[in-house]
Amino acid sequence: MTETKTEIKKPTPNNTITRTLKEIDAPTGNLYESVNVIASRANELAAVTKIELSQKLQDFAGVSDNLEETFENREQIEISKFYERQPKAVLVATEEFLDGKVKPKKNKK
C-alpha cells in the first residue's frame, strides 16, 4: 500500500491521554488559544484525510449490478481499515502542538 501524506511519523497513541491544563496552555499562555490552535489543526488533518480516502474509494464507485461484488472487494475493505486504524486527527494535532510543530497565528491589531 502506498504511503499517504497524513501518515504519522511519530507514534501517536490511538486512545486519549489525560493532560494537565498547564501543559496545554504553556505554549501560548492562554488555554482557549491553545485549544483553538489544536482544533484548527485537527480540522485541517481531518479534511486532508477525508479527501485522500475519497479519492482512493472513487476507484470502487462504479455502478455494480452484483450485490456480492460490493461485499467482496477486499482492496476497498483494506483501504477503509487502514484509515480506521489511524489515530484521530485531534490526537495528532495535540501531539504536534505540544511538540512545537504547530504555532498559533499572530493577529495584527
For 2-41, how does the pLDDT look when each residue is reduced to its tens digit (9 = 90+)?
344 444 455 666 677 788 899 999 999 999 999 999 999 9
Whole-angstrom distance, CA of residue 17 vs CA of residue 97: 14
For 74-93, how does the pLDDT look when each residue is reduced to its tens digit (9 = 90+)?
788 888 888 888 888 999 99
Rounded (10°) angle between helices 89-98 and 31-58: 130
Question: Greatest CA separation found in the chain?
Answer: 61
